Amino acid sequence: MKRASLQLTKRLLVISSATFTLFSCGKGIPEEETSEVASKKAFSVEEVLEMVAAENDITRTLYTKGIVGAGKKQGMKFDEDWQDDEVEAGPLPALFLRGISADIRKSPVPLGLYLGSDYPINASNKLEGKQAELFEKIKQDRKPQYFFDETQKVHTAMFADVAMAAPCVSCHNKHENTAKSDWKLGDVMGATTWQYPSDSLSYKEAIGVLNAYRNGTKAIYNAYLAEIAAFKTSDKPVIGEKWPSKGFFLPTAEVFIDSVRKKASYKTMEKLVKKGASVVSR
Ligand code: HEC
């Protein structure tokens, strides 16, 4: 018992300094990289995927409510074909997520991220096989599901993707390709699936996963701003400190990420403290 709590304290110290470094300077890999602690397999794959999934929830909510929801009220447009030259619009939330996922794939971090559903708009997002089976459980209790995917040889985690903002529901219900038109606020609309090849990660690898996700957010957000810069006929929002809730504005990538960072570091710490309490009381 004593040993368990001592180990836990050590672990929390490692994690909190990791979170601190990650969330405060944003650069990522801290000095401890070279130390013994950095290479020890300190985290289970589930723990790390849980942390990155929590950050994804925050990013996704912020983008959906703060950019898409508020932006639409200002007349900004968001479209499936946002990258086409003749379409002057920003990415839909699902395509924002896919942009993050595509950027991670280009990085050296072997992390996979997908968004699926049992009633998808895009048929290629339909959950199948083991994932479809586990999604039934997720819909019932909203708890994450983990399994080892034998065919792809990857550890897989699935997390509920919930309709947490009005635009999720209204857009899906009225979409011409929707497979379901009675979504309600709070419904589990789908799941994010995360994959990673090993069952445990070092401190350095865990930070690598979190940084890869954050760099992906930055990349797709900047791609959106670059799209706006190339608008020929539409008005361009003023890009700076302000958000669309204040007018025809968009935050810069730094302002957007900073907002994610503030919310995520709190959540990550809260999770760790909760986890700590449960381990100590065992
Ligand atoms: C403005 C429209 C719009 C908004 C807002 C929107 N979605 Fe979607 N969503 C789409 C479209 C279109 C797709 C299909 C994109 C693709 O993969 O081609 C999609 C894909 C998805 C998928 C993958 C399965 C599928 O339907 O293809 C899930 C799950 C999902 N959205 C959930 C949400 C949630 C939760 C929110 C709110 C956080 C949200 N969506 C907000 C339009 C929207």
Question: How does DSSP classify residue 67?
Answer: I
The per-residue pLDDT for 265 is: 77
Phi and psi, residue 162, nearest 5°? -100, 145
Least reliable range by pLDDT among 8-12, 211-215, 262-266: 8-12
Least reliable range by pLDDT among 3-7, 137-141, 168-172: 3-7
pLDDT(22) > 70? no
Residue nearest to atom 32 of ligand 1 (CA): 189
The per-residue pLDDT for 37 is: 62
Q: Which atom of ligand 1 is nearest to the CA of 191?
A: 29
The per-residue pLDDT for 282 is: 43
Least reliable range by pLDDT among 2-11, 74-83, 224-233: 2-11
Residue nearest to atom 8 of ligand 1 (CA): 94
Any ligand 1 atom below 6 A from CB of 165: yes
Question: pLDDT confidence of 271, banded at 50, 70, 90?
Answer: low
Count CB neighbours of 246 within 10 A. Answer: 10
Query: Which two structure tokens, joined as six digits, stand for 37?
Result: 């602690």
Q: How far is the CA of 243 from the centre of ligand 1 (A)?
A: 22
The per-residue pLDDT for 153 is: 97
The per-residue pLDDT for 18 is: 47
> Which alpha helices (H) appear in 107-194, and where do they start and end?
129-141, 166-174
Q: pLDDT of 61-116, one tens digit each?
A: 999 999 999 999 999 999 999 999 899 999 999 999 999 999 999 999 999 999 99
Please state, rounded to an integer, the average pLDDT across all residues of the chain: 87
Any ligand 1 atom below 6 A from CB of 161: yes
pLDDT(176) > 90? yes
Cβ-proximal residues to 225 (8 Å cutoff; 6+ apart), any chain: 239, 250, 252, 253
> Which alpha helices (H) appear in 93-182, and where do they start and end?
93-106, 129-141, 166-174
Any ligand 1 atom below 6 A from CB of 188: no
The per-residue pLDDT for 269 is: 60
pLDDT(275) > 60? no
